[in-house]
A and B are shown apart, each in its own frame.
Chain A
Amino acid sequence: MPEPITRDEVAHLARLARLECTDAELDTFAGQLEVILGSVARVAEVVADDIPPTSHSVPLTNVFREDVVRPSLDRDEVLAAAPAAEDGRFEVPRMLDEAP
């Protein structure tokens, strides 16, 4: 069995996902995630080395598109769906940090 998931790890994941959790919620989620990870670990037990992990359920490769331009959306229509816009651009709250 893998290491049990800790409350700190849940808090870290919540921060990465920009979710605000109360202390009580962190405890609840730690317990629930533990159950989920435990179930996945049981699947891992029966997987032999010759079975590769599945990332796609359809056995397809090389789906390519021709490099041909298709019309873009109308900008006014696009920006109308944004909470705020200025100078033809999406307006977003102050960024707190440099880009990743």
Chain B
Amino acid sequence: MTAELVDYAEAVTAWEPVIGLETHVELGTRTKMFCGCPTAFGAEPNTQTCPVCLGLPGALPVLNGQAVRSTVLIGLALHCDIAAWCRFARKNYFYPDMPKNFQISQYDEPICTDGYLDVDVEGEIVRVEIERVHMEEDTGKSLHVGGATGRIHGATHSLVDYNRAGIPLVEIVTRPVEAGPNAPAVAKAYVEQLAELLRTLDVSDVRLEQGSLRCDVNTSLRRPGDAYGTRTETKNVNSYRSVERAVRFEVSRQAGLLEQGTRIRQETRHFHEDTGTTSPGRSKEEATDYRYFPEPDLVPIAFPVDVVEELRASLPETPAVRRARLRDAYGWSDLELEEMTNAGVLDLVVSTVELGAAAPAARALWQNEVAKAANEQGVEASSLPVSPTDVARLLALVADGTLTAALSRQALAGVLAGEGDVDAVVAARGLAVVSDDGALRTAVYDVIAAQPDTAAKVRGGNMGAVGPLIGAVMKATGGKADAAKVRSLLVEVLT
């Protein structure tokens, strides 16, 4: 059943969106959840498997203690209760992504429950309640062959790589969020800030593009005051922006159906990055069809209270608290902090300031120069061969007049090119400002002699003509002169 899409702004005047988010995070443990196979991304297919993660007969799982600690840490950071006792469950289904024909997960006894994340949505705090955080194992990766562009439809057969099967996965499930017309922005901000928190906890590398963070977005509509409507679950949402677009599209689509009197089908839908639309997957199986039962091959977890408290005490400063502290200490705005975070340079800027650089200058240099270079090369700023020490030195040389802004960019380019540290590059490239008055005066006289007409204009009081002369002096000194000083010399000589 299809209907016209209703314009988003119009849809939310008549309908209230309610959203829910299920986020899967691959933990950054060295080994899989239940066996000692490595978890490295990008390895040759099926080179990281063993009898346990291949589901060979007789193989028995043993739980990765570090994965449990990481999950508890996530739960604590989300203000959850940690279960005194819980078990794993078998989720039974036949699908080639799990060779065992079941997935080990947690069902009615999740290890963490009842928490929240306070999300900053354009300056307003929205509390997103967390229903549960549970552990499970990731599935294998399928490649569909014979159909168009790897799609399952029309494929003749599929090829499966079990390297990912068994990698520790944590699922974080929110309660329904009555986000109102702002639902798309709330959804995006939640996933972004959850990812930031997970990165701070150092439990996952949180890379959406590599699938180590994956998000399913539930959306439903209701008339104000009514009970929740039927929800759809949108999968394949692989970027922060897509989270926002997926909610927006589902609101428009559902409003169209509801307004023509069609009921919403509870179903899984797939998000399409290229068109920003969703299309139906299959109807959701009933939970009872998975025939969950307690996993007999793993004993229960009664995570020690003293270790929970130890982990609680070790929780790092949350990103929100840190942002507030940096804002107060260094005077950066929320927007600047967000930009530095997104560019992956915030930690580097902070280190640079701690080495004595001025906060605005340090921010500008990392954000405008280094992050730009990283972006052009398609790498993280932190992986470039420039350190906070280099940037602090560079800014100190600018501050004491040894380098001009233009020269400092050349020095940075040298450091980025691997020519050594700042002082080495400045020496090797001969970048220091010409501070020798005699040399500068000579250059000034040479230029005046070479351009008598322009010089005459300045003598006649046309100060606009001084610009080309400054340019010529700068050129003559290879850009190593201080332009302000050149100007004052020219003015002194000519007037």
Contact = CB atoms under 8 A, between A and B. Distances in A.
Main secondary structure of the interface of B (DSSP, over half): loop
A16 B391 CA distance: 62
Given A69-B36, A88-B45, A97-B282, A56 B268 contact: no
B58 to A, nearest CB: 14
A72 B62 CA distance: 15
Given A72-B38, A87-B159, A62 B302 contact: yes
A45 to B, nearest CB: 21
Contacts of A65: 31, 36, 62-65
Contacts of B303: 62
A67 B160 contact: no
A68 to B, nearest CB: 6
A68 B67 CA distance: 12
B37 A98 contact: no
Contacts of A60: 299
Nearest to B160: A90
Contacts of B94: 18
A25 interface: no
B26 to A, nearest CB: 14
Given A16-B291, A72-B38, A98-B152, A67 B29 contact: yes
Interface residues of A, number: 35
A61 B96 contact: no
Contacts of A87: 45, 159
Given A88-B45, A89-B143, A72 B96 contact: no
Contact of B46 (A61, A68, A88): A88
A95 B144 contact: yes
Interface residues of B, number: 62
B320 to A, nearest CB: 29
B48 A68 contact: no
A98 B36 contact: no
Interface stretch (A26-34, A36-44, A73-81): A73-81
A94 B157 CA distance: 4
Interface in B183-215: none
A87 B67 CA distance: 31
B495 interface: no
Contacts of A46: none
Nearest to B96: A92
Contacts of A99: 95, 97, 139, 142
* Of listed A63, A88, A94, residue having the most chain B CB within 10 A: A94
Interface string B145-165: 100000010011111111000
Interface in A48-76: 55-56, 58, 60-70, 72-73, 75
Interface in B31-69: 31, 35-38, 44-51, 54, 62-68
Contacts of A86: 145, 159
B400 interface: no
A2 interface: no
B160 A68 contact: no
B127 to A, nearest CB: 31
Contacts of A69: 30-31, 36-38
Contacts of A93: 157-158
Interface in B115-170: 139, 142-145, 152, 155-162
A50 to B, nearest CB: 16
A97 B51 CA distance: 27
A4 B49 CA distance: 44
B452 interface: no
Contacts of B66: 66-67
Contacts of A79: 46
Interface string B277-292: 0000110010001110
A60 B62 CA distance: 13
B282 A98 contact: yes
A63 B47 CA distance: 27
Interface of A: 16, 18, 55-56, 58, 60-70, 72-73, 75, 78-79, 86-95, 97-100
6 contacts: A56-B300, A73-B54, A87-B159, A88-B44, A92-B142, A92-B160
